Amino acid sequence: MQLSPEDYQQQHKQRLAWMPWLYYKLKPKQLSWAQPWQDAFQQRLQALETVEIAENCFIAPEANIFAEPGRLISIGAGSFVAAQCFLHGPLHIGENVAINHSCSIDGGRNGVTIGNNSRLANGVKIYAFNHGMAPEQDIWRQNSQSKGIEIGQDVWLGANVCVVDGVKIADHAVVGMGSIVTKDVPKWAIVAGNPAKIIGDRRDKA
């Protein structure tokens, strides 16, 4: 079976969608087709949704990004969003932020903020809203509530971490794989578990 250059490009596009950090390691010959591909896709997304994308970003076409008017999604320079992510504004993503594949983020009413240089491993779930639980009314009829979620700079959320509404994760914190964060996390803390609890300080790892 003889393959064409287009076959290889298509396979490489799929690879980039799932491993976007490779986009920033492409050689000039590869960038000659990858950059126009990304530019065209990002321009189309910004025309269709209330999305602002800064320079040098990578957005996988397989990502699901929805931002109605009043629910802006802004993505800072050098950030990437991998395949099979679901993003719903309001959402502010800082610079050099990594959102790896299969993450799910919903800004609710009051939004999610992710600071510069933070990393979300695959499968992270962040929901800035919750339902009421009054016993006299069915769950699906309850009013939703939203406090918003703040994630600081240089934060690492491990694979399959869940963050509930109202939480603030301060700068430089690390959240272990599979943890559920229900309370604020201080600067430099390492937390893990369900519910997540402090198990260390990142400054002790030097």
Active site residues: 131
- Which phi and psi (to 5°) does residue 52 adopt? -120, 125
Range list of β-strands (E), 31-76? 51-53, 58-59, 64-66, 73-75
Please name the residues in contact with 13: beta carbons below 8 A apart, sequence gap of 6 or more: 34, 37
Alpha-carbon dihedral angle through residues 164, 186, 152, 61, given to the nearest 10 degrees: -40
Phi (first) and psi of residue 83, to 5 degrees:
-65, 150
